[in-house]
Amino acid sequence: MATTAKTQIIADPGVQRIVITRAFAAPRDLVYRAYTDPELLVQWLGPRRLTLTVERLDVRDGGTWRYIHRDSDGTEAGFHGVFHGTPSPDNMVRTFEYEGAPGHVSLETATFEERDGKTLVRTNAVFQSVEDRDAMIQSGMESGVNEGMERLDELLARLAAAS
């Protein structure tokens, strides 16, 4: 299956926000499941060169999550946060904190909108400062997000073919 669309990343100068948008050729419930099922999440989140471990994923209001990315040398990068409100196929809100920069927390809202059997996912990440937002961009997040979205496209195609 061909990619439905490219990932759009908007980071306007001087604004504390990054907006990531991508359309997927899959129903909303399946896309939401890929975001909330640890067995699926490890198959797509992040660059191919990294292995993802989901240490915790308690998808509920007040539930916590923690992911660890490892490279081939065993170097680890941890990320964690808390869900706010009850996550649903409509949207989910959570905090995001890279453990390599403690105290720099962003608030992410992901919405899942189904249109004609396709799902538009929009993630709005708001940072505590423009400097924090710029640090996230400079970390190489754009290539990681793009690669992860490509991997999610591939996973959704495999899941659709299996059903």
* CA distances for 141 relative to 9, 49, 101, 128, angstroms: 10, 14, 14, 17
Domain annotation covers residue 145: yes
List pLDDT tens digits, range 70-85.
Answer: 999 999 999 999 999 9
Cα distance between residue 106 and residue 162, in whole Å? 36
Instruction: Count structural domains, the chain.
Output: 1
Domain that holds residue 37: 8-162
CATH code, domain carrying 63: 3.30.530.20
Do the domain assignments include residue 3?
no
Cβ neighbourhood burial of 88 (10 Å; 0-12, 13-18, 19+)? exposed
Residue 30 lies in a domain: yes
pTM of the predicted protein model = 0.92
SS3 of residue 96 by DSSP: strand
Give residue 5's pLDDT band: very low, low, confident or very high (50, 70, 90). Answer: low
Residue type at 134 in one-letter notation: D
Strand partners of residue 22: 121
58 within some domain: yes
Domain-embedded: residue 2: no
Section 148-159 average pLDDT: 96
Are 84 and 95 within 8 A, CB to CB? yes
